[in-house]
Amino acid sequence: MDFLVSDISTDILSGQGLTCIRGDKPIFSDLAFELAPGQALILNGTNGSGKSSLMKIIAGLLPAEHGTMTYGGEAILGDRDWISHNICYLAHKNGMKPELTVAENLAFWATMEHHDGDIAIEAAKIGIDHCLDLPVCYLSSGQARRAALTRVLCHPGKFWLLDEPTVGLDTAGVELLAGLMNDHLKSGGRILAATHIELGIDPDKSIQLNMSDFSFTASYDPGEDLLC
């Protein structure tokens, strides 16, 4: 079966014709992307251009108005089973309970996501291991972000969806994260990140996607779409 695993052309995550409408407001239309193993897709674009919406669509939290997403030729848009085992999503919110310690939070999510490695080792990689026994409410926003990134490191999924992962991080933190993202890409993982700053991912491995290219033109008529 080795030849199948090494055959990366069947292993591409791609989206075609993705359209997003929130409320009555069209966000983007006809968006397409391809992501091979070991590649990163960097989403750029102004505020409100739909970076977070695209991530939520990929994560199945938001339905796409139109379009498909395939992985290895199979449609995966909204496929909960595939998404839950492959996608690790880090939103703006950290998903950490302020009353619990960092270690308790991470251990809880590790149980939920079937991770059985050592949390302290992963925490050390992003430099938060000295805070493991502190409640999250005592952490600064940068430390809380590092704790949330530790959850990403613990997650068994190979697809990282990171929505502005560097928010709150100091320069050293951004550098650590860049190293970790490059390691993840080297091990065949994939990253989809929305950002406003340079993340420090190896340029050979990253594709830039400007969300403004897919924004709706003034000629768009929502009435047509509602009919189909």
Q: Catalog residues that contact other proteins under the rule CB under 8 A.
A: 59-63, 81, 83-85, 87, 89, 91-100, 104, 108-109, 111-114, 135
Smallest distance from other proteins to CB 121, Å? 21
Distance CA 49, CA 217 (A): 13
Question: Which CB atom, from 60 or from 182, has the smaller least distance to other proteins?
Answer: 60
Count CB atoms within 10 A of the CB of residue 91.
Answer: 16
- What φ, ψ does residue 219 adopt, rounded to 5°? -75, -5
Question: Which CB atom, from 8 or from 137, has the smaller least distance to other proteins?
Answer: 137
Which amino acid is present at 189? Answer: G
Smallest distance from other proteins to CB 63, Å? 6
Distance CA 89, CA 123 (A): 18
Distance CA 66, CA 31 (A): 10
Instruction: Kindly state the tokens that stand for 176.
Output: 């650590």
Question: Which CB atom, from 15 or from 60, has the smaller least distance to other proteins?
Answer: 60
Q: How far from the centroid of its chain's Cα atoms is residue 53's Cα?
A: 11
Question: Which CB atom, from 50 or from 182, has the smaller least distance to other proteins?
Answer: 50
Smallest distance from other proteins to CB 84, Å? 4
- DSSP class of residue 137 equals G
Smallest distance from other proteins to CB 165, Å? 14
